[in-house]
Copies of this chain bind each other. A is one copy, B any other.
Amino acid sequence: MGRWEPGARERLQRAALELYVERGFEQTTVAEITNRAGLTERTFFRHFADKREVLFSGQDELLESCVNTIVGAPEATAPLDAVAEALQAISARFEERREFSRQRQTVIAANAGLQERELLKLAALASATADALRRRGVTEPTASLAAEAGVAVFKIAFERWIGEPGGRTLADVIQDSLDHLKAATAG
C-alpha cells in the first residue's frame, strides 16, 4: 500500500487549490496536482475520491458536529440560538484555514457545477439541523425555519468573513449577522 506520507493530505489540498485558482477547476488534472505536491497519484486517491472531493471533504464531520451541539445544548436555549452556537463551534476549523477558505470560495464561484454541489451541501446541513431541533422537541414549522435561517446566517457570515481584510473572527461575524437578522425580523 506504499508508505505513509506525513502531511500528504494538506500538501495535496494546497497544491490543488493553487492550481484551481491558476488554471481553473476543469482544466486541472490529478497528475498535475500530485506533481506539484511531489506525491504519487496513489497517495492522492488514498485521501480523495476525485479532484472535486478536495473541495468538499470533511463536510460530513462538520455536519455531525453541528447536530451533536444542537442536540446537547441546554434545554432553555432557543432554537435559533442553539443553531448559532453549533455554527460558532465549527467556525474554529475555518479560522485556521482562512486563505484556503478564500481560495476555495473563488474556485466555487467560478464553476456552476461546484456551486450546485455547494448549495446541495448547505441544503443537507439545513435538513440535518432541522432534524436535530426536532429531536429537542421543537415543532414544525419552527424547526425548519430556524434551521434555514441559521444556515443563511452562516452562509452570509462566511462570505463577509472571507471578504474582510483580517480583524474579526468567523464566530464574531456569525454573532453579528445573527444580531442583524434578529433586528430585521423584529423591525
Binding site for B on A (CB under 8 A): 78-80, 112, 115-117, 119-120, 123, 140-142, 144-146, 148-149, 152-153, 155-157, 160, 176-177, 180-187
Contact = CB atoms under 8 A, between A and B. Distances in A.
6 contacts: A79-B187, A145-B156, A145-B180, A145-B181, A148-B149, A149-B184
Contacts of A187: 78-80
Contacts of A116: 116-117, 119-120
Contacts of A120: 112, 115-116, 119
Contact of A181 (B78, B140, B160, B185): B185
Copies of this chain present in the complex amount to 2
Nearest to A146: B184
B184 A80 contact: yes
Contacts of A148: 149, 152, 155-156
A180 B149 contact: no
A186 B141 CA distance: 15
